[in-house]
Amino acid sequence: METRQRSLVKAVIWNLIGLASMTLVGVVATGSAALGGTLAIVNTAVGFACYVLYERVWAGIGWGRRHV
């Protein structure tokens, strides 16, 4: 089973990647670094919360695992 700490670290790293890509997309789409950055931060916060919850739910599901 995956630990909470591992799930959290994975979520942080994944969301930093998402923040960078969303900032670029936001700046290109809006032409504004401030607006594009704000959109990226909001998206990252929501995505982070959803990802952590998703990972924790799946960590508790035994389906599809092989027990060695």
Q: What residue ranges do the domains of the chain occupy? A: 4-59
Q: How far is CA 50 from the centre of its chain?
A: 7
User: What pLDDT does residue 3 have?
Assistant: 83
Length of the chain: 68
For 53, other C-beta atoms within 10 Å of its C-beta total 12
pLDDT, tens digit, 9 for 90 and up, residues 15-67: 899 899 999 999 999 999 999 999 999 988 998 899 889 888 988 898 888 77
Confidence of residue 12 (pLDDT cuts 50, 70, 90): confident
pLDDT at 5 over 80: yes
